Amino acid sequence: MVLSENLEKRRLSYNERAKLTSNKLAIRLFNLMEEKQSNLALANDITDTKKFLELTEKVADEIIVLKTHIDILEDFNMDIINKIEELANKHKFLIFEDRKFADIGNTVKLQYSSGIYKISKWAHIVNAHSLVGDGLIEGLKECIKDSEDSRGCLLLAQMSSSNNLIDKKYTLRTIEFAEKYQDFVIGFIGNGSNPKELKKLASLAKPNFLIFTPGINISDTGKLGQNYATPQKAIKSGSDIIIVGSGIYKSEDPLKSAKEYRKLGWKAYIKRTK
Ligand code: 5BU
């Protein structure tokens, strides 16, 4: 049966999963995880630019993805992007702007490529709400036609926040969009905080798609609607990349915490492949 077949194939190693897709960015990410032995993404939600860069550099060797909310930086300028790119090249991580696009194709096209942030120039990965329909995906795709570096998108198939309105039908329709645009959509945001829900997504989505999961913390219970589970539970339930924010940046020793999350995530992945 297809559902259990998907789950079974999700237990393959990242290197083997890379062979199931022709999307260059997905292949790069699968192989990077194996190379760095990490499936950890840092959600760097620090608003002070200097501190943001310091934290990024400190944990750069532990992560394979840096997730940004570029519009929360207090003193943004393009030089910050140059510095992030330098760190990304030196320490080998990809940049994911958590922009959650949600508008008609023409507007997201402008939001992706223009304004002060020019996201399409530097973010390897962006994400988008599927709510709007696939015109949004077409709009985003138009911006990266001539991009030298590979670009990809994650669709929000689930969210980690309480009482969000995404139901199973919405998740299924989101997966259909992803299948239609496999040249650009590399995977999904899945709900890291809810293993049962996450497992549903992992069984429905083909194993060429990566599942990124926010809602990961080993010591907090969440606030303002956020919910958490452990890296072990998330990876066991089908997550490929754990996204950790405050668990690292609010820690007294962010490097130590990043190492710990990395170790927990990687160990759970190795266990899953056995
Ligand atoms: P935290 O400090 O680990 O809770 O940060 C989680 C990050 O992931 C934060 O940047 C959120 O904007 C982001 N996030 C999320 O928490 N839940 C979601 O469903 C999505 C993104 Br999509």
Distance, CA of 216 to CA of 144 (rounded, Å): 31
| Local confidence band at 227 (pLDDT 50, 70, 90 cut-offs) | very high
* Dihedral angle sign, alpha carbons of residues 1, 193, 135, 169: positive
What's the average model confidence in pLDDT over 233-247? 98
Judge whether 225 and 162 are in contact, CB under 8 Å: yes
Q: How many residues does the chain have?
A: 274
Q: Which of 232, 185, 231, 240 lies closest to 210, judged by CA? A: 240
pLDDT digits (tens, 9 = 90+) for 82-129: 999 999 999 999 999 999 999 999 999 999 999 999 999 999 999 999
Answer yes or no: is pLDDT of 137 > 70.
yes
Ligand 1, atom nearest to 246 Cα: 2
- The residues near 243 (Cβ < 8 Å, ≥ 6 apart) are 41, 42, 43, 65, 67, 192, 212, 213, 214, 215, 216
Instruction: Determine the pLDDT at residue 3.
Output: 67
Instruction: Determine the pLDDT at residue 1.
Output: 57
What's the average model confidence in pLDDT over 216-244? 95
Residue 166 burial (CB count, 10 A): 19
Looking at residue 154, its amino acid is L
At 25 the three-state DSSP class reads: helix
Chain centroid offset of residue 249 CA = 17
* C-beta 245 within 6 A of ligand 1: yes
pLDDT digits (tens, 9 = 90+) for 20-74: 999 999 999 999 999 999 999 999 999 999 999 999 999 999 999 999 999 999 9
Answer yes or no: is pLDDT of 2 > 90.
no
Query: Which residue's C-alpha comes closest to atom 17 of ligand 1?
Result: 160
Looking at residue 270, its amino acid is I
pLDDT digits (tens, 9 = 90+) for 148-183: 889 999 999 999 999 999 999 999 999 999 999 999
DSSP string for residues in 177-196: HHHHTTTTEEEEE--TT-HH
Ligand 1, atom nearest to 216 Cα: 3
Distance, CA of 94 to CA of 230 (rounded, Å): 23
The residues carrying an active-site annotation are 100
pTM, two decimal places: 0.98
Domains of the chain, with CATH numbers? Answer: 5-273 (3.20.20.70)
Ligand 1, atom nearest to 156 Cα: 22
Distance, CA of 65 to CA of 157 (rounded, Å): 19
Bridge partners (DSSP) of residue 239 are: none
Instruction: Determine the pLDDT at residue 4.
Output: 87
Bridge partners (DSSP) of residue 187 are: 154, 210
- The residues near 203 (Cβ < 8 Å, ≥ 6 apart) are 3, 4, 6, 7, 238
Query: Which residue's C-alpha comes closest to atom 21 of ligand 1?
Result: 214
pLDDT cut 70: percent of the chain above it: 99
Indicate the average pLDDT of the chain.
97
What's the average model confidence in pLDDT over 254-258? 98
Chain centroid offset of residue 66 CA = 9
* C-beta 230 within 6 A of ligand 1: no
| Local confidence band at 147 (pLDDT 50, 70, 90 cut-offs) | confident
d(CA 192, ligand 1 centre) in Å: 10
d(CA 245, ligand 1 centre) in Å: 7
DSSP at 153: E
* C-beta 213 within 6 A of ligand 1: no
